[in-house]
Chain A
């Protein structure tokens, strides 16, 4: 365990590995630990994000040209950020899971379950704080169960989280009796997260920003983050380097569940409800954002900033389509195309680098 820190740093210092050979080379225990590794990664990271930033700028230009009156208003930008907050928080957790070599299909369902659990009349009688803590605990608990099944039950992540997706939605439906549960007037403090503004931004946008910053620090500046890259890059090598891979994997899913719990608080604030229909297909949006952001689905490589940029691209597309009065079917086509283009471009840039 003692060398995990240094060797974890090693996995970061080298440019992202592509083939199996390179990955083993870069894996902890084999690669050398260079203390200034993060700086190099940072620069590579910036280059990688350049494409995403360009795409965002292009979309913004489209917005300025097509709907000059309504796109560049501060209230529209606030609205985009507020809209991105829910999936944004989930995307942070998803980034960790995917970098760690897994996948979490249950995020939308866990969020729905957490929102329902927190808005039952019984929970609501304890006030807004208990509701929020309840949502976060339910999310974390469900994530922990995912992680336990995957780590210690040796289930494939796809299967385990698929099972959770189905079961959590079922439980959410059962708890709510398939009804929409309103946040009671007594607990309006929850709703105020979306209606109260500080410096022009709703409080929930700050929650989103806070989660992103904490996520970035954990991934880039802590042992936990380095181990995540190591476990995702080459679990066997990580194990040999003294990392408790199982325990770490379990923690990753718990982290994703925690993010779902926080997202549940945000969705309660935005919609004033808890419902088993919340977060339908969020898993796909979150995974797409992570992939567009340059995280490898095979694990070992990726950044939070990339994922968030990917998500903002998606949110911006939705916004532009509605501002221009176009219908949602075209929106879906556009999103599909963007996923394909993003992955093709990433492949190209990987090939030119090696």
Chain B
């Protein structure tokens, strides 16, 4: 009995700790934000997982940031690692070249780091290097873009692209259904169309819309950049004289999409974003434009990946779970942010 009570306290503490640390990690860009100041106290409240343990060197390799989301990934990982006195953070030069990322990870393997957090440029192409690290006895925490071979990583943590599409489709479908729309014009502005993640998002979107009896009228791919967002959206707006809803996969390129909408002086529709940038959230909060909601694909996963890497290297489990070891795979849920709950999410938003 005594033990059970202890466990409950332990769990509650873990939850507080989790929330606190997440907030801390993600407000790293805005110095002295209130929640992050309070976080360290909360972090030591009910569990010993965050207490200093064996020293761990965590290697980190990710693509070069040419995009707010990737930039946030690197920043979150670093900020999280700095929270721990027992973690030495060892990032390698970020690159968008597969070849360079392979040699960068090789250098980390040669340095015999305690754990590796890898966001590969391409899971397929970097699979063998993940495998080599595992073979060398280094646990690999595969971040977001998954290695096809399960022997190549100890744990995978990432977002749910299909779920993101479902969340956007559900929001749009429900809202249009409630308004009694028939044959609504629904547009989709994708990121890079050739990526599997984009295809998953689109599939989820189409599937969710189908449950409401709707379908995507037209879709076009931009390139995850502001400029491509403007160019594609300005043409799409011309193609459709009356639009009911737009889902734009990515809030970074969404800045460009919104600029094009403003330029064309259109407002007869509503728009849903994707990823959850601070910028998009501020727009949603202001409620003055067409952007009504965004579905998350949060770069906070990098903070969590560092936490997992540390736990795995120290041989600990996750305090909220019963198991002694960290799970093999963690998929984050895609949450829908609207005007009602935006205040709660704003601290987690990343700057574009």
Contacts and interface: CB of A to CB of B under 8 A. Distances in A.
Interface in A29-85: 67, 69-70, 73, 75-76, 79, 82-83
Contact of A182 (B67, B225, B255): B255
Nearest to A325: B218
B236 interface: yes
A319 to B, nearest CB: 5
A75 B235 CA distance: 10
Contacts, number: 110
Interface in B253-307: 255-256, 258-260, 262-265, 279
A194 interface: yes
Contact of A277 (B219, B227, B262): B227
Interface in A252-293: 267, 270-273, 275-280
Nearest to A115: B227
Given A179-B352, A272-B259, A322 B236 contact: yes
B261 to A, nearest CB: 11
A180 B252 contact: yes
Interface in A116-140: none
A76 B239 CA distance: 8
A79 B227 contact: no
B351 A270 contact: no
Contacts of A182: 255, 279, 352
A319 B256 contact: no
A32 B286 CA distance: 69
Given A273-B255, A279-B227, A178 B238 contact: no
Contacts of B259: 191, 194, 270-273
Contact of A76 (B66, B219, B238): B238
A270 B263 contact: yes
A79 B265 CA distance: 12
A271 B231 CA distance: 9
A8 to B, nearest CB: 39
A15 interface: no
B238 A319 contact: yes
A332 B260 CA distance: 23
Find the residue from B229, B239, B279 having the highest chain A CB count within 10 A. Answer: B239
A270 B231 CA distance: 9
B239 A328 contact: no
B226 A275 contact: yes
Nearest to A111: B227
B247 to A, nearest CB: 16
Given A178-B71, A270-B230, A277-B226, A82 B263 contact: yes
A79 B235 contact: yes
Interface in A11-29: none
A317 to B, nearest CB: 11
Nearest to A267: B227
B16 interface: no
Contacts of B232: 322
A202 B68 contact: no
A83 B235 contact: yes
Contacts of B235: 79, 83, 318-319, 322-323
B33 interface: no
B140 to A, nearest CB: 26
A222 interface: no
A352 interface: no
A278 B229 CA distance: 11
Contacts of A323: 235, 238-239
Contact of A272 (B71, B221, B255): B255
Contact of A177 (B71, B230, B258): B71
B132 interface: no
B318 interface: no
A184 interface: no
Pick from B68, B231, B265, B352 the residue with the most CB of A within 10 Å: B231
A79 B71 contact: no
B208 to A, nearest CB: 21
Given A178-B66, A202-B263, A82 B225 contact: no
Contacts of A223: none
B179 interface: no
A192 to B, nearest CB: 10
A251 B219 CA distance: 44
B332 interface: no
A187 interface: no
A69 B66 contact: no
Interface in A182-198: 182, 191, 194-195
B65 interface: yes
A216 B263 CA distance: 29
A195 B226 contact: no
B142 to A, nearest CB: 23
B77 to A, nearest CB: 15
Given A195-B265, A277-B225, A180 B68 contact: yes
Interface of B: 64-68, 71, 193, 218-221, 223, 225-227, 229-232, 234-241, 252, 255-256, 258-260, 262-265, 279, 351-352
User: Which 3 residue pairs of A and B lie closest in terms of their CB atoms, listed nearest first?
Assistant: A322-B235, A180-B352, A76-B238
8 contacts: A70-B239, A83-B234, A195-B265, A270-B263, A272-B256, A272-B262, A273-B256, A278-B226
Given A75-B238, A191-B259, A327-B221, 20 more contacts: A70-B238, A73-B238, A79-B234, A79-B235, A82-B234, A83-B231, A179-B352, A180-B252, A194-B259, A195-B265, A270-B227, A271-B256, A272-B255, A277-B225, A278-B226, A280-B227, A319-B235, A322-B220, A322-B238, A323-B239
Interface of A: 67, 69-70, 73, 75-76, 79, 82-83, 173, 177-180, 182, 191, 194-195, 202, 267, 270-273, 275-280, 318-319, 322-323, 325, 327-329
